Chains A and B, each alone.
Chain A
Amino acid sequence: DTAVSQTPKYLVTQMGNDKSIKCEQNLGHDTMYWYKQDSKKFLKIMFSYNNKELIINETVPNRFSPKSPDKAHLNLHINSLELGDSAVYFCASSLPGGSGYYGYTFGSGTRLTVV
């Protein structure tokens, strides 16, 4: 019954590796997002997709590449991981424009640790 599910929940990897985080939502939402929460607990938007189309692309290194195979999935691939990429990554979904009674629905997060 999980509405927005992310895998894996924890990811520990070495610098220079390439890794992916997967996100799936079963809410029928058209819009999906990736947010990053750093060690100071600030939540910052990275990307937003609406119906598989990239809508928001904040100032994110091009080592980060989102991919949306369909509107229920938004994966995040990270190349050449760096120490500064260590953070908690949250996936979220919403009706178009973030509207709707329930606003955004967030996943439980993926804690990425780069060593």
Chain B
Amino acid sequence: DAKTTQPPSMDCAEGRAANLPCNHSTISGNEYVYWYRQIHSQGPQYIIHGLKNNETNEMASLIITEDRKSSTLILPHATLRDTAVYYCIVSSAGGTSYGKLTFGQGTILTVHP
């Protein structure tokens, strides 16, 4: 699976948009970009995933560049409860890895009042 690079930490003011970048320059054609987050002491939580097109759900938006070498997770109106470690993961949905997710260090997002 392709490796990802994320900033170790970011801050955001409550109510503002949080934009979390991720570089995945070695992504291959059949690999998806997944975002998960882990709130302190809890299990990771799925946020969103995409292949080529931008995606939006009730939690967030995912913007993937045209060359697919980077992406940005957007939390449109961050709240204090969004403080967590955010993981950007690249993984193929099938094949021999059978959906294996390889977690990196992630980005610690701290939302301030």
Contacts and interface: CB of A to CB of B under 8 A. Distances in A.
A28 to B, nearest CB: 16
Given A103-B34, A103-B46, A109-B43, A45 B85 contact: no
B17 interface: no
B44 A98 contact: no
Contacts of B45: 106
Interface residues of A, number: 27
A31 B97 CA distance: 12
B91 to A, nearest CB: 6
B42 A104 contact: no
B100 A98 contact: yes
Interface stretch (B19-27, B64-72, B76-84, B101-109): B101-109
Interface of B: 34, 36, 38, 41-46, 49, 85, 87, 91-95, 97-103, 105
Interface of A: 4, 31, 35, 41-45, 48, 50, 55-56, 90, 92, 94, 96-99, 102-109
